[in-house]
Amino acid sequence: MTLREEVAIRKTFAIISHPDAGKTTLTEKLLLFGGAIREAGTVKGKKSGKFATSDWMDVEKERGISVTSSVMQFDYDHYKINILDTPGHEDFSEDTYRTLMAVDSAVMVIDAAKGIEPQTLKLFKVCKMRGIPIFTFINKLDRVGKEPFELLEEIEKTLEIETYPMNWPIGMGQSFFGIIDRKQRTIEPFRDEDNLLHLTDEYQLTESHPIESDSAFEAAIEELMLVDEAGESFDEDKLLKGDLTPVFFGSALANFGVRNFLNAYVDFAPMPGGRLTEEGDVIEPFEPDFSGFIFKIQANMNPAHRDRIAFMRIVSGAFERGMDVTLTRTGKKLKISRSTSFMADDTQTVNHAVSGDIIGLYDSGNYQIGDTLVGSSQKFSFEKLPQFTPELFMKVSAKNVMKQKHFHKGIEQLVQEGAIQLYRTLYTNQIILGAVGQLQFEVFEHRMNNEYNVDVIMEPVGKKIARWIENEEDIRDVMNSSRSILVDDRFGNKVFLFENEFATRWFEDKFPDIKLYSLL
């Protein structure tokens, strides 16, 4: 198979949603259809003892939520599909944002009863900004929720994107009968999936069935005729530009409507696309020279081996295990002899991968998030990945002074994952952690205890306004105070932690020559 043929069958997407919309459950069912797993363990597994394949971390299994981005690959209908299951919780949005930089399309899961929720809107805007094609799965139709037209209107108005329903539900909740596939003109019954019903072009059943006299069926047909009369056709170009979203109705937990979605997804989702470099060039997927970038680092995926994995998106060319690459940030040449693919915490060695694939590189400390790897003859860096300005801060120290070595190793490795940021006070070297949300601190404390066997003391510093300095050489000791704490970040850059907006403005007025800036 040529490189072009291999790349053409890759589909790489992220699943995004508000917490509890059913994102991880949908991921499980997609893996089930792909033959990657034999039995789906869902987030309901806290009671049953089964856990979602994509939730591999102890804290995720205990809470029934996703707090890391998992990567899974499976084959379906001659395609190789890479799924990135992202954290739904807003405290981990930075991890999700970076993950969205590594995919070619996104699947947005919406709870039929709740519609568009704040985190859904936030993540959608990132997709829209990057022009990522979005597929929408409206979940939990077997429960009472909003009417289909209301949901479509909400998506169009709130997200400012056109919708095209690929199927249509018949009833909902207790009266949910099934879905009508608009293209195939078939009805897939909810409780009798083998008994597929066929419709004529006028939405008449081709053979008699008791459903004909059902009020929910009659209402669904009337609604579908209204949709058809609106005359809007499916526009694949708009989909690929991110201006139209195909909408699917179903129930992931009941494993209903998922195959209907998956079949359409592989038909219409884009193959891997090019990526911009810092110099403004586009590196295309069919270019023969290898390139890729690191978008995630995860420590202790296998706690028994204290391993550390750098997740790489391949942008161009082919990866071969044992190949030599150059890390452009340092100019250092590396031989990649240990590489892996994922099924959450189940891994296997990767010998060959191409543009669009996500692979894991065993990391002894060489990589940072955002690093570019290229074939030895090239020199360029891909666009920088987003980094957020933290809002919450916490002093942290080891409860047992005899465990300082484990304490510092744990902090170093967890900070490198990017969810929390590390700062040190100038003279006392006190460690301060910064995060976007409180849950990140809770996960940090849990992981320090469980993965590094270190109990930590966490002292809240509270909300601060972090500002970096363009002209560090002009900083003077008098600027460091209780209202404007001067610290070093982990790269040695000076940062002011201001008490509040008033303190920030006061500083800017008093020291106008100091040029401050924030991250995203």
Annotated binding-site ranges: 17-24, 85-89, 139-142
Spell out the residues 6+ positions from residue 348 whose beta carbon is closer than 8 angstroms to its own.
Answer: 340, 341
C-alpha 93/C-alpha 387 separation (Å) is 11
C-alpha 73/C-alpha 171 separation (Å) is 34
- What is the maximum span of the chain, computed from C-alpha positions, in angstroms? 86
Pairing of strands 105-111, 134-139: parallel
C-alpha 374/C-alpha 390 separation (Å) is 31
C-alpha 310/C-alpha 187 separation (Å) is 45
- Give, as one character, the DSSP assignment of residue 463: E
C-alpha 83/C-alpha 167 separation (Å) is 23
Computed on alpha carbons and rounded to an integer, the radius of gyration of the chain in Å comes to 25
C-alpha 364/C-alpha 482 separation (Å) is 38
Structure tokens at 175: 């009266």
Q: What CA–CA distances, in Å, run from 399 to 121, 188, 459? A: 41, 59, 12
Q: Which residues are annotated as a binding site for GTP?
A: 17-24, 85-89, 139-142
C-alpha 322/C-alpha 356 separation (Å) is 20
